[in-house]
Amino acid sequence: MHYLWCASSHKTYKRINMTLIDTITNWYAANMNHASITALMTIESSFIPFPSEVVIPPAVYVAATPTSPLCVTGNYIVDVALIVLFGTIGAMLGAVINYLLSLWLGRIVIYKFADSKLGHLCMLNSEKVKKAEDYFNEHGKVSTFVGRLIPGIRQLISIPAGLSKMHFGQFLLYTFLGAGIWNAVLALLGYIAHGQMDLIHAYSHELSIAIMALLGIVIVYFVVKTVVKRLKAKG
């Protein structure tokens, strides 16, 4: 009986959440500008669930329209870069909210909130928080960068950073880099898919994996290059 009640409650919370997302998405479509991009990406990056896929890609598509508020320079590449920038600023604001709340409230309160009715309404539970915390503990501070590229971890990785009292400057740097890359990925998706949300949802996960693989190759290259230089210097 308890399992059935939990399953029913989860479906109810998910249905309410989807209704809110639809309402906000419709509002965003009618009020698409740099301020609304920043606001929604702040929400997306905090503990309130909102998909970034419905924020950045449509904005990139709309920016090509000369009469759009997002077409501010007349140079499409610059306008897209501004969308990515404001989206990244919003993501950082949301991440800072999670970081500070976790830092001030502590682990016990955060886990209790995750399992509360309000937490469930935000599609949170203690298992999701623990998954993010385990990822942070396993990979260290750099997880605040890499985690920004992983669905399911991206929005929550700031919580364990706050719980562990990670250096705030490092947290901001890693968050800026990770969020910036993710928003650039979404911008590329928006350009390729021409704002078609079904294609964006279908390929956002695959593209994020490809970006992570590319970053891994770049990192390995520079590590190997550094090691070879040191060996040559010693020789």
Per-residue pLDDT of the chain (235 residues; tens, 9 = 90+): 444 334 444 455 456 556 777 788 888 888 899 999 999 999 888 877 677 788 888 899 888 888 889 988 889 899 999 999 999 999 999 999 999 998 898 888 888 887 887 777 666 778 888 888 887 888 777 888 887 877 667 778 888 888 888 899 999 999 998 899 889 888 888 887 665 555 555 555 555 566 566 666 656 655 666 666 777 676 6
The CA-CA-CA angle for residues 140, 141, 145, to 5°, reads 115
Answer whether 55's CB lies under 8 Å from 37's CB: yes
Helix 126-139, helix 76-114: angle, nearest 10: 110
Q: Enter the pTM of the model.
A: 0.74
Q: Please state, in angstroms and as integers, the Cα–Cα distance from residue 27 to each residue in 30, 33, 37, 139, 193, following that order.
A: 5, 12, 12, 38, 22
State how far the Cα of 151 lies from the Cα of 90, in Å rounded to an integer.
18
State how far the Cα of 37 lies from the Cα of 43, in Å rounded to an integer.
10
